[in-house]
Amino acid sequence: MRGPTTMVNNKQGDVICVLCYSTAAAAKISNLKGHYESKHKDFQSIVGEERTAKIPSLVRSFNQQQKVFTMLSVEFEPLCEVSYDISLMIAESGRPLFDGDYLKNSMKAASKKLCPYDTNKLF
C-alpha cells in the first residue's frame, strides 16, 4: 500500500513539495523521488503513525497559504482596475492634474468601482 505523498498540485497544475514549497521541474516519478531523496533525508526517518499524521497537516497548511494569497489577489483586483481607469482618464484628458472637474470625474470613477452603493451619496 502506498502512503500519503509530500507532493501536491497547485491551481496552475504545478507539482509542489509541501516540505520545502519548491516546484518540481517535471511531474515524473523519477524527478519527484530524486527531489525527496536528496533534500528530505531527515523526513525519511519519520515513519508510522507520526508520518501519516504529519503529511495531512502539511498539506492543510499548504492549502491554507494558497487560499490566503488567492483571497488577497481577489481583494486587490478592483484597486488595480481603478488605477488603470484613472491612468486612462489622465492620458485621454490632456489637462493638468489640478483641474477640479478632472479630479471629480476620477473620484467618481473610483467610487463606482470601490463602493458602488455609496457613490450617489458622495456626489
Return the domain boundaries, the chain: 1-45, 47-122
Amino acid at 42: D
Average pLDDT, the chain: 77
Report the distance separating Cα 24 and Cα 34, nearest Å. 10
E strand or H helix that includes residue 90: helix 49-93
pTM listed for this prediction: 0.47
Report the distance separating Cα 112 and Cα 86, nearest Å. 12
Confidence of residue 98 (pLDDT cuts 50, 70, 90): low
Report the distance separating Cα 103 and Cα 32, nearest Å. 56
More confident residue, 22 or 61: 61
* pLDDT of the residue at 67: 81
